[in-house]
Protein backbone atom coordinates (compact mmCIF):
# COMPACT_ATOMS: atom_id res chain seq x y z
CA UNK A 1 0.00 0.00 0.00
CA UNK A 2 1.67 3.31 -1.08
CA UNK A 3 2.50 5.74 1.74
CA UNK A 4 2.20 9.52 1.22
CA UNK A 5 5.71 10.77 2.03
CA UNK A 6 7.09 14.29 2.30
CA UNK A 7 10.83 14.90 1.92
CA UNK A 8 11.93 18.22 3.38
CA UNK A 9 15.15 19.25 1.69
CA UNK A 10 16.19 18.92 -1.96
CA UNK A 11 19.89 18.49 -1.36
CA UNK A 12 21.75 15.33 -2.30
CA UNK A 13 20.39 13.11 0.44
CA UNK A 14 16.83 14.40 0.27
CA UNK A 15 16.86 13.87 -3.49
CA UNK A 16 18.28 10.35 -3.26
CA UNK A 17 15.71 9.30 -0.65
CA UNK A 18 12.91 10.75 -2.76
CA UNK A 19 14.16 8.69 -5.71
CA UNK A 20 14.53 5.64 -3.50
CA UNK A 21 11.03 5.86 -2.03
CA UNK A 22 9.28 6.85 -5.27
CA UNK A 23 9.51 3.29 -6.57
CA UNK A 24 6.47 2.43 -4.41
CA UNK A 25 5.22 5.60 -2.73
CA UNK A 26 3.72 9.01 -3.47
CA UNK A 27 6.45 11.59 -2.81
CA UNK A 28 6.37 15.35 -2.31
CA UNK A 29 9.77 17.02 -2.02
CA UNK A 30 10.18 20.50 -0.57
CA UNK A 31 12.92 22.75 -1.92
CA UNK A 32 13.73 26.04 -0.23
CA UNK A 33 14.31 27.62 -3.63
CA UNK A 34 11.30 28.03 -5.96
CA UNK A 35 13.45 27.66 -9.07
CA UNK A 36 14.78 24.30 -7.88
CA UNK A 37 11.26 23.07 -7.15
CA UNK A 38 10.07 24.17 -10.58
CA UNK A 39 12.97 22.41 -12.32
CA UNK A 40 12.31 19.16 -10.44
CA UNK A 41 8.60 19.36 -11.21
CA UNK A 42 8.89 20.16 -14.92
CA UNK A 43 12.32 18.91 -16.04
CA UNK A 44 12.51 15.75 -13.86
CA UNK A 45 16.01 16.74 -12.74
CA UNK A 46 17.37 18.50 -9.67
CA UNK A 47 19.46 21.33 -11.20
CA UNK A 48 21.86 21.54 -8.24
CA UNK A 49 22.30 18.05 -6.78
CA UNK A 50 22.54 14.66 -8.51
CA UNK A 51 21.55 16.57 -11.63
CA UNK A 52 22.18 13.63 -13.96
CA UNK A 53 19.63 11.43 -12.15
CA UNK A 54 16.19 11.26 -13.80
CA UNK A 55 13.54 11.80 -11.12
CA UNK A 56 10.48 9.52 -11.22
CA UNK A 57 7.07 10.93 -12.08
CA UNK A 58 5.88 9.91 -8.58
CA UNK A 59 7.89 12.85 -7.17
CA UNK A 60 6.04 16.16 -6.92
CA UNK A 61 8.10 19.23 -5.98
CA UNK A 62 7.10 22.45 -4.24
CA UNK A 63 8.69 25.37 -2.39
CA UNK A 64 5.67 25.71 -0.08
CA UNK A 65 5.88 23.82 3.20
CA UNK A 66 2.11 23.65 3.63
CA UNK A 67 1.77 21.98 0.23
CA UNK A 68 4.66 19.58 0.85
CA UNK A 69 3.23 18.41 4.19
CA UNK A 70 -0.47 18.21 3.34
CA UNK A 71 -1.83 14.73 4.18
CA UNK A 72 1.63 13.18 4.53
CA UNK A 73 1.89 10.11 6.79
CA UNK A 74 5.69 10.01 6.76
CA UNK A 75 7.93 13.10 6.82
CA UNK A 76 11.62 12.73 6.00
CA UNK A 77 13.70 15.67 7.21
CA UNK A 78 16.88 16.07 5.14
CA UNK A 79 17.82 19.67 5.94
CA UNK A 80 21.36 20.90 6.78
CA UNK A 81 21.81 21.03 10.54
CA UNK A 82 22.14 24.81 10.73
CA UNK A 83 18.73 25.25 9.07
CA UNK A 84 16.83 22.57 10.96
CA UNK A 85 15.38 24.69 13.77
CA UNK A 86 14.11 27.43 11.46
CA UNK A 87 12.53 25.12 8.88
CA UNK A 88 10.84 22.84 11.39
CA UNK A 89 9.53 25.80 13.39
CA UNK A 90 7.75 26.90 10.22
CA UNK A 91 6.72 23.37 9.27
CA UNK A 92 5.23 22.20 12.56
CA UNK A 93 1.79 23.75 12.08
CA UNK A 94 1.37 21.97 8.73
CA UNK A 95 2.31 18.46 9.92
CA UNK A 96 -0.32 15.76 10.39
CA UNK A 97 -0.32 14.98 14.15
CA UNK A 98 -0.31 11.26 13.26
CA UNK A 99 2.76 11.52 11.00
CA UNK A 100 6.03 9.70 11.68
CA UNK A 101 9.08 11.96 11.37
CA UNK A 102 12.39 10.60 10.03
CA UNK A 103 15.51 12.73 10.55
CA UNK A 104 18.57 12.21 8.36
CA UNK A 105 20.22 15.39 9.71
CA UNK A 106 23.76 14.91 11.00
CA UNK A 107 25.34 17.43 13.31
CA UNK A 108 25.25 19.29 16.61
CA UNK A 109 23.57 22.66 16.96
CA UNK A 110 26.40 25.12 17.51
CA UNK A 111 24.42 27.55 19.66
CA UNK A 112 23.00 24.98 22.10
CA UNK A 113 25.11 21.81 21.84
CA UNK A 114 21.92 19.86 21.10
CA UNK A 115 21.82 16.74 18.97
CA UNK A 116 19.39 16.96 16.07
CA UNK A 117 16.65 14.89 17.70
CA UNK A 118 16.85 17.24 20.69
CA UNK A 119 16.39 20.25 18.40
CA UNK A 120 13.34 18.57 16.88
CA UNK A 121 11.91 17.79 20.30
CA UNK A 122 12.53 21.38 21.33
CA UNK A 123 10.60 22.67 18.32
CA UNK A 124 7.81 20.12 17.82
CA UNK A 125 4.78 19.30 19.94
CA UNK A 126 5.25 16.36 22.37
CA UNK A 127 2.91 14.22 20.26
CA UNK A 128 5.77 13.81 17.76
CA UNK A 129 8.52 12.94 20.25
CA UNK A 130 7.86 9.20 20.47
CA UNK A 131 7.46 8.99 16.67
CA UNK A 132 10.84 10.51 15.86
CA UNK A 133 13.06 8.10 13.91
CA UNK A 134 16.74 8.80 13.20
CA UNK A 135 18.24 7.43 9.97
CA UNK A 136 22.01 7.09 9.79
CA UNK A 137 24.66 4.80 8.37
CA UNK A 138 27.14 4.42 5.49
CA UNK A 139 25.13 5.79 2.59
CA UNK A 140 26.52 8.15 -0.03
CA UNK A 141 23.58 9.85 -1.73
CA UNK A 142 24.76 9.13 -5.26
CA UNK A 143 25.07 5.40 -4.65
CA UNK A 144 21.61 5.24 -3.06
CA UNK A 145 20.14 7.11 -6.05
CA UNK A 146 21.91 4.70 -8.42
CA UNK A 147 20.39 1.72 -6.56
CA UNK A 148 23.75 0.45 -5.36
CA UNK A 149 23.47 -1.71 -2.20
CA UNK A 150 23.38 0.23 1.09
CA UNK A 151 22.45 -0.52 4.69
CA UNK A 152 21.41 1.99 7.36
CA UNK A 153 20.14 2.16 10.94
CA UNK A 154 16.71 3.47 11.95
CA UNK A 155 16.70 4.42 15.63
CA UNK A 156 13.59 5.21 17.64
CA UNK A 157 12.71 4.96 21.31
CA UNK A 158 9.54 3.07 20.33
CA UNK A 159 10.52 0.27 17.97
CA UNK A 160 7.16 -0.04 16.24
CA UNK A 161 7.65 3.35 14.55
CA UNK A 162 11.13 2.35 13.36
CA UNK A 163 9.62 -0.85 11.97
CA UNK A 164 7.00 1.17 10.07
CA UNK A 165 9.74 3.24 8.43
CA UNK A 166 11.81 0.11 7.81
CA UNK A 167 8.89 -1.43 5.94
CA UNK A 168 8.30 1.72 3.89
CA UNK A 169 11.90 2.36 2.83
CA UNK A 170 13.58 -1.04 2.59
CA UNK A 171 14.11 -2.80 -0.73
CA UNK A 172 16.71 -5.26 -2.11
CA UNK A 173 19.33 -2.49 -2.53
CA UNK A 174 18.46 -0.37 0.52
CA UNK A 175 18.38 -2.43 3.70
CA UNK A 176 17.19 -0.79 6.92
CA UNK A 177 17.93 -2.17 10.41
CA UNK A 178 16.01 -0.97 13.46
CA UNK A 179 17.71 0.27 16.62
CA UNK A 180 16.63 1.78 19.94
CA UNK A 181 19.72 3.92 20.70
CA UNK A 182 18.74 7.32 19.27
CA UNK A 183 21.61 9.15 21.00
CA UNK A 184 24.26 6.67 19.89
CA UNK A 185 23.10 6.59 16.29
CA UNK A 186 23.05 10.40 16.13
CA UNK A 187 26.43 10.83 17.80
CA UNK A 188 28.04 8.36 15.40
CA UNK A 189 26.51 10.04 12.37
CA UNK A 190 27.58 13.52 13.44
CA UNK A 191 31.08 12.95 14.79
CA UNK A 192 32.37 10.72 12.01
CA UNK A 193 32.45 13.88 9.88
CA UNK A 194 34.95 15.45 12.29
CA UNK A 195 37.23 12.41 12.09
CA UNK A 196 36.87 12.39 8.30
CA UNK A 197 38.29 15.93 8.11
CA UNK A 198 41.26 14.81 10.23
CA UNK A 199 41.80 11.70 8.09
CA UNK A 200 41.53 13.82 4.95
CA UNK A 201 44.29 16.09 6.23
CA UNK A 202 46.41 13.03 6.92
CA UNK A 203 45.86 11.81 3.35
CA UNK A 204 46.46 15.28 1.91
CA UNK A 205 49.81 15.38 3.70
CA UNK A 206 50.71 11.95 2.30
CA UNK A 207 51.20 10.46 5.75
CA UNK A 208 50.35 6.94 4.65
CA UNK A 209 47.85 4.18 5.37
CA UNK A 210 49.20 3.36 8.83
CA UNK A 211 48.47 6.89 9.99
CA UNK A 212 45.01 6.82 8.41
CA UNK A 213 44.12 3.58 10.23
CA UNK A 214 45.41 4.95 13.54
CA UNK A 215 43.39 8.17 13.20
CA UNK A 216 40.21 6.30 12.32
CA UNK A 217 40.60 3.91 15.26
CA UNK A 218 41.41 6.59 17.80
CA UNK A 219 38.71 8.77 16.27
CA UNK A 220 36.16 6.05 16.91
CA UNK A 221 37.35 6.00 20.50
CA UNK A 222 36.63 9.74 20.81
CA UNK A 223 33.18 9.29 19.26
CA UNK A 224 32.41 6.53 21.75
CA UNK A 225 33.53 8.65 24.71
CA UNK A 226 31.12 11.44 23.82
CA UNK A 227 28.30 9.01 23.11
CA UNK A 228 28.67 7.15 26.38
CA UNK A 229 28.86 10.43 28.29
CA UNK A 230 25.50 11.34 26.73
CA UNK A 231 23.98 7.98 27.65
CA UNK A 232 24.53 5.94 24.48
CA UNK A 233 25.17 2.19 24.34
CA UNK A 234 28.89 1.70 23.53
CA UNK A 235 28.04 -1.24 21.26
CA UNK A 236 26.19 1.13 18.93
CA UNK A 237 29.51 2.50 17.74
CA UNK A 238 30.51 -0.90 16.36
CA UNK A 239 27.48 -0.87 14.05
CA UNK A 240 26.39 0.81 10.83
CA UNK A 241 25.98 4.31 12.30
CA UNK A 242 29.32 4.08 14.09
CA UNK A 243 32.17 2.13 12.54
CA UNK A 244 30.27 1.62 9.27
CA UNK A 245 29.68 5.30 8.58
CA UNK A 246 33.15 6.20 9.83
CA UNK A 247 34.82 3.78 7.41
CA UNK A 248 32.87 5.12 4.46
CA UNK A 249 33.29 8.81 5.24
CA UNK A 250 37.00 8.55 5.98
CA UNK A 251 37.92 6.54 2.88
CA UNK A 252 35.31 7.22 0.19
CA UNK A 253 36.07 9.67 -2.60
CA UNK A 254 32.48 10.96 -2.46
CA UNK A 255 32.97 12.20 1.11
CA UNK A 256 32.70 15.99 1.32
CA UNK A 257 34.31 16.12 4.77
CA UNK A 258 37.27 13.99 3.73
CA UNK A 259 37.66 16.25 0.68
CA UNK A 260 37.83 19.33 2.93
CA UNK A 261 40.55 17.65 4.97
CA UNK A 262 42.54 16.63 1.89
CA UNK A 263 42.54 20.20 0.57
CA UNK A 264 43.59 21.54 3.98
CA UNK A 265 46.44 19.03 4.02
CA UNK A 266 47.52 20.27 0.59
CA UNK A 267 47.84 23.80 1.92
CA UNK A 268 44.58 25.42 0.81
CA UNK A 269 42.67 27.69 3.17
CA UNK A 270 39.29 26.72 4.57
CA UNK A 271 37.75 29.85 3.05
CA UNK A 272 38.75 28.94 -0.50
CA UNK A 273 37.81 25.28 -0.03
CA UNK A 274 34.29 26.16 1.14
CA UNK A 275 33.91 28.73 -1.65
CA UNK A 276 34.47 26.01 -4.25
CA UNK A 277 31.90 23.62 -2.76
CA UNK A 278 28.22 23.54 -3.72
CA UNK A 279 27.31 21.22 -0.85
CA UNK A 280 27.52 21.45 2.93
CA UNK A 281 30.44 19.81 4.75
CA UNK A 282 28.71 19.29 8.10
CA UNK A 283 31.95 18.36 9.82
CA UNK A 284 33.24 21.94 9.86
CA UNK A 285 30.41 23.20 12.06
CA UNK A 286 30.27 19.97 14.03
CA UNK A 287 33.96 20.21 14.94
CA UNK A 288 33.40 23.51 16.74
CA UNK A 289 30.19 22.29 18.36
CA UNK A 290 31.57 18.98 19.62
CA UNK A 291 34.67 20.60 21.11
CA UNK A 292 32.41 22.87 23.17
CA UNK A 293 30.27 19.88 24.14
CA UNK A 294 33.28 17.75 25.07
CA UNK A 295 34.65 20.49 27.30
CA UNK A 296 31.30 20.72 29.06
CA UNK A 297 31.15 16.94 29.48
CA UNK A 298 34.79 16.62 30.57
CA UNK A 299 35.53 14.25 27.69
CA UNK A 300 39.00 14.01 26.14
CA UNK A 301 38.94 14.53 22.34
CA UNK A 302 42.49 15.35 21.16
CA UNK A 303 41.77 14.66 17.47
CA UNK A 304 38.69 16.90 17.46
CA UNK A 305 40.55 19.68 19.32
CA UNK A 306 43.50 19.48 16.91
CA UNK A 307 41.14 19.58 13.94
CA UNK A 308 39.44 22.68 15.34
CA UNK A 309 42.78 24.43 15.67
CA UNK A 310 43.48 23.78 12.00
CA UNK A 311 40.04 25.05 11.00
CA UNK A 312 40.56 28.26 13.01
CA UNK A 313 44.09 28.76 11.64
CA UNK A 314 45.85 28.27 14.97
CA UNK A 315 47.81 25.28 13.66
CA UNK A 316 48.82 23.97 10.25
CA UNK A 317 47.86 20.36 9.48
CA UNK A 318 51.52 19.40 9.93
CA UNK A 319 51.65 21.02 13.36
CA UNK A 320 48.40 19.38 14.40
CA UNK A 321 49.70 15.97 13.39
CA UNK A 322 52.94 16.47 15.31
CA UNK A 323 51.00 17.66 18.37
CA UNK A 324 48.89 14.48 18.35
CA UNK A 325 51.91 12.21 17.95
CA UNK A 326 53.83 14.03 20.71
CA UNK A 327 51.17 13.69 23.38
CA UNK A 328 52.01 11.93 26.65
CA UNK A 329 52.16 8.16 26.17
CA UNK A 330 49.32 6.21 27.73
CA UNK A 331 47.38 2.94 27.74
CA UNK A 332 45.17 2.27 24.72
CA UNK A 333 42.15 1.60 26.91
CA UNK A 334 42.24 5.03 28.58
Q: Where are the domains of the chain?
A: 4-180, 190-325
Per the CB < 8 A criterion, the answer to whether 97 and 65 are in contact is: no
Confidence of residue 281 (pLDDT cuts 50, 70, 90): confident
- State the architecture of 4-180 in CATH terms: 3-Layer(aba) Sandwich (3.40)
Q: What is the pLDDT of residue 240?
A: 98
Output the CA–CA distances (angstroms, integers) from residue 99 to 47, 65, 164, 286, 330, in the order listed. Answer: 29, 15, 11, 29, 50
Q: What is the pLDDT of residue 334?
A: 79
- Cβ-based neighbours of 59, under 8 Å, separated by 6 or more: 18, 19, 22, 27, 28, 29, 40
Taking the whole predicted model, whether its pTM rises above 0.75 is answered as yes
Rounded distance between C-alpha atoms, residue 220 and residue 100, angstroms = 31
Rounded distance between C-alpha atoms, residue 56 and residue 298, angstroms = 49
Candidate CATH numbers 3.40.640.10, 1.10.1040.10, 2.60.40.2700, 3.40.1790.10; the one for domain 190-325: 1.10.1040.10
Task: For residue range 165-200, list pLDDT tens digits in order.
Answer: 999 999 999 999 999 999 999 999 999 999 999 999
User: Mind telling me the catalytic residues?
Assistant: 192
Neighbours of 249 (CB within 10 A): 27
Least confident of 16-30, 58-72, 275-289, 308-322: 275-289
- Cβ-based neighbours of 284, under 8 Å, separated by 6 or more: 197, 257, 260, 270, 274, 311
Q: How far is CA 245 from the centre of its chain?
A: 10
Task: For residue range 120-129, list pLDDT tens digits in order.
Answer: 999 999 999 9
How far the first Cα of the chain sits from its last, in Å, is: 51
Intrachain domains 4-180 and 190-325 with the same fold: no
Amino acid sequence: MPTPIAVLGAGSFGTCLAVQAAREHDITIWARDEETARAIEHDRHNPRYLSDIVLPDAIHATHKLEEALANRELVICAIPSHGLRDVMTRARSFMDPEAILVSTVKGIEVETGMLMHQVLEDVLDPVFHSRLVVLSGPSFAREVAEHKPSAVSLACREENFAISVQTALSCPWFRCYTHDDVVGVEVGGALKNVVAIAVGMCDGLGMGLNARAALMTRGLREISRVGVALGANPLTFLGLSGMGDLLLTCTGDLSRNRSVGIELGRGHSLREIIARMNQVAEGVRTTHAVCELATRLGVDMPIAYATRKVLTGELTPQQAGLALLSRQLKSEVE
